[in-house]
Amino acid sequence: MSLGEFELIQRYFVRKPDDWPGHPQLGHSQVCLGIGDDAALLELPPGERLVVTTDTLVAGRHFPHDAAAVDIGWKALAVNLSDLAAMAARPLGVTLNLTMPEANESWLAAFARGFWGLADIADVPLIGGDTTRGPLSVTITAIGCVEESVALKRGGAQAGDLICVTGSLGDAGAGLALAMSSAEMAGISDDDRAYLLDRLHRPMPRLLEGAYLRGIASAGLDISDGLLQDLGHLLKASNVGAELAVEQLPLSEPLQAYAATSSAALLQVRRWALSAGDDYELLFTLAPARARLLPQLRYTVIGKITPTAGLRLTAHGKPWEHDSLAGYQHF
Amino acid sequence: MSLGEFELIQRYFVRKPDDWPGHPQLGHSQVCLGIGDDAALLELPPGERLVVTTDTLVAGRHFPHDAAAVDIGWKALAVNLSDLAAMAARPLGVTLNLTMPEANESWLAAFARGFWGLADIADVPLIGGDTTRGPLSVTITAIGCVEESVALKRGGAQAGDLICVTGSLGDAGAGLALAMSSAEMAGISDDDRAYLLDRLHRPMPRLLEGAYLRGIASAGLDISDGLLQDLGHLLKASNVGAELAVEQLPLSEPLQAYAATSSAALLQVRRWALSAGDDYELLFTLAPARARLLPQLRYTVIGKITPTAGLRLTAHGKPWEHDSLAGYQHF
């Protein structure tokens, strides 16, 4: 990077204490030394464990080459914070490695707007990073903390536990179909279209929901690859099986409305909810007796854990199968 | 990545407890939960601060497209561990984000050999990462720890402090000239050539040296961009100036031998030592009275800190200037 580019990066990514509305003196209290030295120094609350996760998004693979920079900035951060939420962790800071073909100011400004839009909501400081020239890609590493005894791990689900999800499922799958100008949902309203595209491009990491689950859920993870695939990871790590009731899958109002239009639409919506990725909701298991410990959390029970391996789908109590899901149903 | 590629990654990057020679039971003691969940869990020693740094290496920019994979694996880790060393920190773990055009097994095996070659020497576990398809680049984020009161920061140098460096300078610059088949050093021996190329391709992060400097050096950083440029960062952060004696610059035996061949060669060697990057030695300042606290550390005094801003170069007590360095001498 040339000096001019360096200054451009500084302008959009290095914040001064005055830039932190809630922290007028020092920025985030856990940051002892921010950007500008060889490395950042962070304080970890006593007794807590460090939680570390990282994801790379590559242009042309994880987002289209012409994707809006504001969405890339938001989503690259969101997918990493979602992994912290999936551990019931609190974010301490993130690093940002941005590789760009050129330092285009309007692109950078939009990217920064998306990044900080979510970073400010999640109250997470940028503690370091690297800017390099090359084909567009974004790597974010998120660092958080949680007490080990209450961290949300994948193993730990027990037979009889309820299977639960936050929010609604399938929205990002529907959003992707809309973004790719699929023939489906041709009659959808502008508001519903905007909602579904927003769910695809600007997922909201479930940090607060993850925090509620500390020490209460028996196992959990975030749904990034689709419900069935991610549930498969949880079942494998916990060495159990599951029954899912497809009529219980939580659907947003736009998807409920679309599902009501035809049986083909209902089937399509269920396929999105079961196997499309990118929803970034939390999937967790809960001993029935502990459900009363979550009065504040909105979630939906979609099934229960069974003692023997394998996954069985039902609709209104009867077995439910569909060829297009065959690859996911047995592991 | 397809399942086959996923298994390839697993083979080279996921280690089982038995793979850790020194830690037969659990791997590294600070790793509570390794690769395989949504995020890793790490323990931070009580009273210490977290140190976080990250660097991206892009093919065609930071290394040639045909660079040996074993060297890329080593160097991508080395440059990040060097930043931890520059804070006097101890490494706790690293994450590795590898973007590759294809999952080529022989390339991956060589990359892993380089990566683990250094990771095992530095005793640092791989705690997470991401593998994506795209133009070749490597991002590593290194996490370490240090007590805040003894961390090695850039500010803190005082007038009268000695300016010191570990190891020798200019080797990587000479190695780069050799790698690019420069006309310089045409008569060099095979052993000397191998040494200089090794210094370029496989820098050794000065973690042990950084640990010695805890609470003793007044300021410090690692030399990645060249002595003059990195010294400039230290002087600016400390709000002081410096005098450097170019005849004191520590040179390896191969560079001493080459410098003795002609006055042009001596000048070239000094230019490499002053302004070529990639040596990854530590540059630090030291109150003269504290020098006795470092009996175990090998280092060279190359100058002293002055109260007023600016940098003055001398050779045997006389002012020393050279046009090709003019850009670096005033800041």
Distances (CA, A) of A11 to A4, A8, A17, A112, B215: 11, 5, 14, 10, 34
Q: In what helix (H) or strand (E) does residue A298 lie, and over which residues does it extend?
A: none
Are residues A287 and A161 in contact, defined by beta-carbon separation less than 8 angstroms?
yes
Neighbours of B176 (CB within 10 A): 19
Residue B294, number of CB atoms within 10 A of its CB: 17
Which residues are bridge partners to A58 per DSSP? A137
Residue B7 makes CB contacts below 8 A (sequence gap 6+) with none
pLDDT tens sequence across A117-126:
999 999 998 9
pLDDT of A136 > 70? The answer is yes
Average pLDDT over residues B252-278: 95
Contact list in A for residue B132 (CB cut-off 8 A) is 56-58, 61-62, 137
Average pLDDT, stretch B240-251? 97
- CA-wise closest residue to B95 among B27, B13, B173, B154: B13
Per-state percent for chain B, helix, strand, coil, to nearest 5 = 40, 25, 35
Q: Which pair of structure tokens corresponds to residue A21?
A: 């509305």
pLDDT, tens only, A260-306: 999 999 999 999 999 998 999 999 999 999 998 988 899 999 999 99
Q: How many other β-carbons are positioned within 10 Å of the β-carbon of residue B23? A: 15
Asked if the Cβ–Cβ distance from B95 to A237 is below 8 Å, we say: no
Residue B187 distance to chain A (closest CA, Å): 35
pLDDT at A22 exceeding the cut of 50: no
Looking at residue A199, what is its pLDDT? Answer: 96
Output the pLDDT for position B185.
84
pLDDT score for A43: 83
> Alpha-carbon distance B208 to B224, whole Å?
18
Dist CA A288 CA A286 (whole Å): 6
pLDDT tens string B206-222: 999 999 999 999 999 99
Mean pLDDT, rounded, for A14-37: 57
- Amino acid code (one letter) for A255: L
Q: Are B301 and B164 in contact (CB under 8 A)?
A: yes
Q: How confident is the prediction for chain A on average, in pLDDT?
A: 88
Q: Which residue has the tokens 């609350």?
A: A45
Q: How far apart are CA B230 and CA B220, in angstroms?
A: 10
B56 touches chain A (CB under 8 A): yes
Block residue for tokens 């992060």: B205
Q: Please enumerate in sequence order all residues whose Cβ is within 8 A of that of A45, keeping only pairs 6 or more positions apart, or say none.
A: A30, A145
Q: Hey, what are A220's tokens?
A: 């959990």
Helix, strand, or coil (residue B239): coil
How sure is the predictor about A184, in pLDDT bands with cuts at 50, 70 and 90?
A: confident
The pLDDT tens digits for B274-296 are: 999 899 999 999 999 999 898 88
pLDDT of residue B299 exceeding 50: yes
A282 CA to chain B: closest CA distance, Å?
11
Domains and CATH numbers, chain B: 3-148 (3.30.1330.10), 152-329 (3.90.650.10)
A153, closest residue in chain B (CA to CA): B37
